[in-house]
A and B are shown apart, each in its own frame.
Chain A
Amino acid sequence: MTGHARISLAAWAATVLGALVLTPVFSGPFLFISAFLCAAITGTGIALQNLRTPRAVVPVVQLIVLVELISFIFLRDTLRYGLVPWKETALEFNQQMVNAMDSINRFSAPLPPDDHLTLFAASVIAATGLLIHLIAVQLRQAAWSGLLLLTMYTVPAATVHGGLPALLFIPPAIGYIVLLSAEGRTRLSRWGRRISGVSHLDASQPIEASALGQAGRRIGLSVVALAALLPALLPALPEGVVGNGLAGSGPGTGVGASISSTDPMLDMGKNLKRGDNVTALTYSGGPAGGTYLRLTALDQFDGNTWRVSGRDGGRKITNADLTTPPGYTGDLSKVTTSKLKIEVTRNFRSQFAPVPYPLRSVSLKDQWSYDPNVLDVLSTNGRGVAGKNYNLQVYDLQPTPEQLRDAVPTGEPDQYTSEVPSRTPERIRNLTSEVTADAKGNPFAQAVLLQNYFRSGEFTYSTDTDSQSGMRALQNFLLVNKTGYCEQFATGMALMARILGIPARVGIGFLPGQAGKNGEHIVRMHDMHAWPELYFGGIGWVRFEPTPSARVASTPSWTEQIGPAPITPTTNPTTAPTTPGQTEETDDPTANPDRNLPSESGSATVDQGNWFTNGGARIIGGVAAGLIVLSIPWLIRFLLRRKRFARLPGRAGVEGLWAELRDTARDLGLDWSDSATPRQLGEWLVGKLPPDLHPQARGLARGLEAVRYAGLTDDTTVDLRDDVQTVRKALWTRAKLLRRIRATVLPPSWRWYLNRGSAEASDLLDEFDLLLARIRSRLLPHRQAN
């Protein structure tokens, strides 16, 4: 086989192996189709090369073949004369790609086996295959094609929640190594042919001809092995430590693990920007004019993302009522309730079930749980809510402005919702106090002023912004361009509320939707929405609506018709039985009395603690991890040595001691030959040791000979431990200091074991080579004669 064909086939294999990593993302026959498309590209390339086509023409022809095949397989209806791609083909292709991108934005992996997604996957893989072929075969730069394989690998790595199976790393790695070794062999064979005469031996001995390929493989293997093993050796940092701040998600059953695998904010951004506005759900019942349906609330803000705090596991949903709405201290039995029936379409996939707030009971039971703080309903088996129908009861809590105004601080509802990230810019704090100056310190008045500030003409609603709610994005939104959509408005208001000391979180869900016939409401994907929820003592979480009227026409009733001045407290028997001054109630199980501090200093304390515990732990952890990694070679050597010296006298013991002597010599940089006999090595040791140890050195060699070669039936009398210890110490003390340090920190013998491992793996590949060579010589006997 020519080198060109060999590399071409290797490039094909590398592409297909690389495409294997996409199997968790796409489903359906995309892999076979793309393998076929890549094979067509490869075949075209080989054929053209054999026809001595100019190098620049080859990729062009390959591209034409690829386009023709893709059109024929997927877009046959649009072809002219059943064969020629036309304008309609391009338009259809474009449309399908747009649809595919949309599906990718909409669904989390694995994607459904739809035609347009298969077309998308096959086109992308085939295009990658074409590029790999171009780079590896035409440009002869196989090493660079690794970047393309890596790109392919990052797609599932970045999109599949919960990470990829580790084994999935292996196929692209093998593909890459195969490609490298093929190129290595071809490079070497360009230097010339072997002269040796016996032709029948050639077929069975191609290995020696591929020394360079072998070297390449060895390097590749070592690197891949290191890349695969090193992270495994590192002390595992659970996702929660890095990603979730204080909340460790852990491998707990159900809720905790599932939550960290979805980012509701991201989903919302995608849904709002979708091209088509499909129906997400319909509901009937509930208050006239519809109701907000909430998925969950993001209560944790670390400065980068708003997320759902980790949970220990939700509570089981039974026929009884759920726990009371957090923070509400009134008499719930006097609160009216409404019944709703919700039908979720198959288009809307979420782990969270859309429900109004505050929920009283829901008919989703098995495989669902709820969180008492947030009152959201979460699937515990990952199936999601798509296609579910359920009934629920909800409290019609409608606080009056007066109740809210008179609410008194009762401490924070939980540990997250008052946290202001320490790196919140001073300008945002200043802006906050500026906007709320007229409230005279009343939290509710402050909140209303904030809401009105956002709904004033100063801000523009637009979804054409980056969907970000990190500190940098918020800074930009609040201080610079003042353009955004509900995510920015909601998170911006929540942050400013927290700055004011009002606990705040961001609810994510749907606007009430469009009223249909028979009191039904239709909620579409574009109705997805985010809003801030602020906490008021005795009342609990209250929704606000800072998003401008361009998007949401009305604000919650309790925020309307209120002036900045405090009004006389009144009591409302149905919704707010608490009286002002009643500060002792802390029924809310989540309230933390210790944190019942003035808001400013409270958040400051929390921030400091965070910096200390989080930052300190990370630095210490990092240093410790580094030390552990650095000490792995030493540790392995140490344990090995201990094991060897612990063995009983006899064959195994002596062999172990001899191996220890060998490793010590190699660690110290001495040239211990593998092809030397024990006797020769004994003499060699004599040359390295002071005269008084010569008998020990020779004795060791004789002892080894006795157990290894003499066929002793009773070999337990041979005990060399003391001698080996003496000789080992002597070798050690006679070595230079630098050598000793290296022998401790990075024992070369350990590296040698690693080399041997890679050599053995490489031998396996040689066997594979040999097999290929045999098949080749069978199939192409006539070429052997050339």
Chain B
Amino acid sequence: MSTMATSSAMDFDELSEVAGRVRRAIETVIEGKPDVVETAVTVLLAEGHLLIEDVPGVGKTMLAKALARSIDCSMRRIQFTPDLLPSDITGVSVFNQENREFEFRPGAVFANIVVGDEINRASPKTQAALLESMEERQVTVDTTTYQLEAPFMVIATQNPIEMEGTYPLPEAQRDRFMARVSMGYPEPAAELRMLDGHSAHDPLADLQPVTDGQQILRLVKTVQSVHVSESVKEYAVALVGATRRSQELRLGASPRSTLHLIRAARAAAALDSREFVLPDDLQELAVPVLAHRVLPAAEAHLGGRGSAEIIAGLVATVPLPRTRRD
């Protein structure tokens, strides 16, 4: 850890300083949810997309907007409704009467941060339009492909699937989100503080950007330099493999989730000012990264065990890979 370490030490200092600013900025809006904010920042630095799922009114949209606001970059918000069309998202070619040509009008997805509000209220066709651009970071309209600008992050919120008027996201599309977080109800004290703060004015209005897109791109580079040892990789594979063998799960996690798990763990390690990933990072991220991709088996479902509990149970039982010589 000699020469490379000293040169990258500065990057790590910058990273933790900027991340701290973003976190503090978000926490002026979302109170009492440090772990949710932490995960959101982790996903941002790991170049992933975030799915926020919870009942209405707990601040999903607030979190999404706060994160977007704290970074000085283009931000678009799409309110998903049943009548939203794919072209509203991707953009559409319009015939210009003056120069008698088709002209591309970019849709809502052309921004650095896209907030998809209540994504499961739109029809599957529209959902698919957004989700394709998420994975490929490009949009194809009328045979022309338009690259999306980096950084690019989709923060989608959705209501639990049991709620009325929802089209649940298919497994394949949920798989594109790096992590899913649930807001949960705030603590009474935090809720009290919220009453004081939010009644007078909108805290979002006061939120000033604390960083910009270029800096985020640099931090993403720093995150990519975080070392992942063989042992950690094996552990990631073991964890994901365990979801595929578990009796309680009908569908295990995909190989893409292993990739996402490692990427998120890199960001988490960097946020902890560490230049290498620890199994602890994987354990912390296992539930947010894996839980939304698996399907509990009927028995587990009937037994009231959700996928988050099942994943947590697996984390507690899957042994760390043994090193060759001990």
Query: Do A and B interact with each other, yes or no?
Result: yes
Cβ–Cβ contact A677 & B279, under 8 A: yes
Cβ–Cβ contact A652 & B325, under 8 A: yes
Minimum CB–CB distance for A686 against chain B, Å: 15
Cβ–Cβ contact A709 & B278, under 8 A: yes
Complex contacts, B326 vs chain A, CB 8 Å: 655-656, 658-659
Complex contacts, B1 vs chain A, CB 8 Å: 710, 712-713
Cβ–Cβ contact B278 & A197, under 8 A: no
Whether B111 sits at the interface, judged by CB under 8 Å, is no
Number of A-B contacts (CB under 8 A): 64
Given the interface pairs A208-B247, A659-B326, A675-B316, the reply to whether A195 lies near B229 with Cβ below 8 Å is no
Given the interface pairs A655-B325, A679-B278, A709-B232, the reply to whether A196 lies near B247 with Cβ below 8 Å is yes
Given the interface pairs A195-B299, A197-B298, A656-B326, the reply to whether A708 lies near B280 with Cβ below 8 Å is no
Whether A711 sits at the interface, judged by CB under 8 Å, is yes
Whether B204 sits at the interface, judged by CB under 8 Å, is no
Interface residues of B in 283-326 (CB under 8 A from A): 283, 297-299, 315-320, 323, 325-326
Q: Complex formed: what's the CA distance from A591 to B319 in Å?
A: 73
* Chain B residue at smallest Cβ distance from A657: B326
Cβ–Cβ contact B231 & A708, under 8 A: yes
Minimum CB–CB distance for A176 against chain B, Å: 29
Interface string of B257-292 (1 = CB under 8 A from A): 000000000000000000111111001000000000
Chain A interfacial residues counted at CB < 8 A: 25
Among B229, B250, B317, B325, which residue has its beta carbon within 8 angstroms of that of A196? Answer: B250
Q: Complex formed: what's the CA distance from A709 to B227 in Å?
A: 8
Interface string of A640-667 (1 = CB under 8 A from B): 0000000000001001101100000000
Cβ–Cβ contact A675 & B320, under 8 A: yes
Interface string of A705-718 (1 = CB under 8 A from B): 10011111100000
Cβ–Cβ contact B278 & A711, under 8 A: no
Q: Complex formed: what's the CA distance from A708 to B227 in Å?
A: 11
Complex contacts, B316 vs chain A, CB 8 Å: 675
Whether A465 sits at the interface, judged by CB under 8 Å, is no
Q: Complex formed: what's the CA distance from A554 to B325 in Å?
A: 80
Cβ–Cβ contact A711 & B315, under 8 A: no
Q: Complex formed: what's the CA distance from A196 to B245 in Å?
A: 13
Whether A237 sits at the interface, judged by CB under 8 Å, is no
Whether A398 sits at the interface, judged by CB under 8 Å, is no
Interface string of A186-197 (1 = CB under 8 A from B): 000000000111
Cβ–Cβ contact A675 & B319, under 8 A: yes
Interface residues of B in 210-244 (CB under 8 A from A): 227, 229, 231-232
Cβ–Cβ contact A674 & B319, under 8 A: yes
Minimum CB–CB distance for B316 against chain A, Å: 6
Q: Complex formed: what's the CA distance from A712 to B276 in Å?
A: 10
Among A196, A205, A708, which residue has its beta carbon within 8 angstroms of that of B298? Answer: A196
* Chain B residue at smallest Cβ distance from A711: B227
Minimum CB–CB distance for A708 against chain B, Å: 6
Whether A198 sits at the interface, judged by CB under 8 Å, is yes
Complex contacts, A195 vs chain B, CB 8 Å: 298-299
Cβ–Cβ contact B317 & A675, under 8 A: yes
Minimum CB–CB distance for A721 against chain B, Å: 15
Minimum CB–CB distance for A724 against chain B, Å: 13
Given the interface pairs A655-B326, A656-B326, A677-B280, the reply to whether A711 lies near B317 with Cβ below 8 Å is no
Complex contacts, B231 vs chain A, CB 8 Å: 708-709
Complex contacts, A608 vs chain B, CB 8 Å: none
Tell me which of A652, A656, A705, A711 has the highest count of chain B C-beta atoms within 10 A of its own C-beta: A711
Cβ–Cβ contact B229 & A710, under 8 A: yes
Cβ–Cβ contact B250 & A198, under 8 A: yes
* Chain A residue at smallest Cβ distance from B299: A195
Complex contacts, B251 vs chain A, CB 8 Å: 198
* Chain A residue at smallest Cβ distance from B229: A709
Minimum CB–CB distance for A710 against chain B, Å: 4
Q: Complex formed: what's the CA distance from A386 to B250 in Å?
A: 72
Q: Complex formed: what's the CA distance from A709 to B231 in Å?
A: 7
Cβ–Cβ contact B276 & A680, under 8 A: no
* Chain A residue at smallest Cβ distance from B250: A198
Interface residues of A in 661-705 (CB under 8 A from B): 674-680, 705
Interface string of B1-40 (1 = CB under 8 A from A): 1000000000000000000000000000000000000000
Complex contacts, A198 vs chain B, CB 8 Å: 250-251
* Chain B residue at smallest Cβ distance from A712: B1
Complex contacts, A659 vs chain B, CB 8 Å: 326
Complex contacts, B278 vs chain A, CB 8 Å: 677-679, 705, 709
Q: Complex formed: what's the CA distance from A197 to B250 in Å?
A: 8
Interface string of A304-340 (1 = CB under 8 A from B): 0000000000000000000000000000000000000
Minimum CB–CB distance for B48 against chain A, Å: 22
Tell me which of B227, B278, B280, B323 has the highest count of chain A C-beta atoms within 10 A of its own C-beta: B323
Q: Complex formed: what's the CA distance from A712 to B229 in Å?
A: 10
Minimum CB–CB distance for A123 against chain B, Å: 48
Cβ–Cβ contact B250 & A708, under 8 A: no
Complex contacts, A712 vs chain B, CB 8 Å: 1
Tell me which of B232, B250, B316, B325 has the highest count of chain A C-beta atoms within 10 A of its own C-beta: B325
Q: Complex formed: what's the CA distance from A205 to B248 in Å?
A: 13
Minimum CB–CB distance for A335 against chain B, Å: 77
Cβ–Cβ contact A677 & B283, under 8 A: yes
Cβ–Cβ contact B298 & A675, under 8 A: no
Q: Complex formed: what's the CA distance from A711 to B229 in Å?
A: 6
Q: Complex formed: what's the CA distance from A157 to B277 in Å?
A: 59
Tell me which of B1, B277, B298 has the highest count of chain A C-beta atoms within 10 A of its own C-beta: B1
Cβ–Cβ contact A710 & B227, under 8 A: yes
Q: Complex formed: what's the CA distance from A205 to B250 in Å?
A: 12
Complex contacts, A196 vs chain B, CB 8 Å: 247, 250, 297-299
Minimum CB–CB distance for A665 against chain B, Å: 14
* Chain B residue at smallest Cβ distance from A201: B250
Complex contacts, A678 vs chain B, CB 8 Å: 278-279
* Chain A residue at smallest Cβ distance from B317: A675
Given the interface pairs A197-B298, A710-B1, A711-B227, the reply to whether A680 lies near B280 with Cβ below 8 Å is yes
Interface residues of A in 530-572 (CB under 8 A from B): none
Complex contacts, B277 vs chain A, CB 8 Å: 709
Q: Complex formed: what's the CA distance from A711 to B214 in Å?
A: 29
Interface string of B171-184 (1 = CB under 8 A from A): 00000000000000
Cβ–Cβ contact B317 & A708, under 8 A: no
Complex contacts, A652 vs chain B, CB 8 Å: 325
* Chain B residue at smallest Cβ distance from A659: B326
Cβ–Cβ contact A708 & B323, under 8 A: yes
Complex contacts, A675 vs chain B, CB 8 Å: 315-320
Cβ–Cβ contact B275 & A677, under 8 A: no
Interface residues of A in 321-363 (CB under 8 A from B): none
Cβ–Cβ contact A656 & B325, under 8 A: yes
Cβ–Cβ contact A710 & B276, under 8 A: yes
Minimum CB–CB distance for B249 against chain A, Å: 10
Tell me which of A205, A208, A659, A675 has the highest count of chain B C-beta atoms within 10 A of its own C-beta: A675
Among B298, B320, B325, which residue has its beta carbon within 8 angstroms of that of A677? Answer: B320
Q: Complex formed: what's the CA distance from A713 to B1 in Å?
A: 7
Q: Complex formed: what's the CA distance from A198 to B247 in Å?
A: 11
* Chain B residue at smallest Cβ distance from A660: B326
Minimum CB–CB distance for A427 against chain B, Å: 69
Cβ–Cβ contact A655 & B323, under 8 A: yes
Interface string of A362-390 (1 = CB under 8 A from B): 00000000000000000000000000000
Minimum CB–CB distance for B227 against chain A, Å: 4
4 smallest CB-CB distances across A and B, nearest first, come from A659-B326, A674-B319, A677-B279, A711-B227
Give A residues with C-beta under 8 Å from B.
195-198, 205, 208, 652, 655-656, 658-659, 674-680, 705, 708-713
Give B residues with C-beta under 8 Å from A.
1, 227, 229, 231-232, 245, 247, 250-251, 275-280, 283, 297-299, 315-320, 323, 325-326
**Further 7 A-B residue pairs, CB within 8 A, beyond A208-B247, A709-B232, A711-B227:** A196-B299, A197-B298, A198-B250, A678-B278, A679-B280, A680-B280, A710-B1
Contact sample, A vs B, 18 pairs, CB 8 Å cutoff = A195-B299, A196-B298, A652-B325, A656-B326, A659-B326, A674-B320, A675-B316, A675-B320, A677-B278, A677-B283, A705-B276, A709-B227, A709-B229, A709-B231, A709-B278, A710-B229, A710-B276, A711-B227
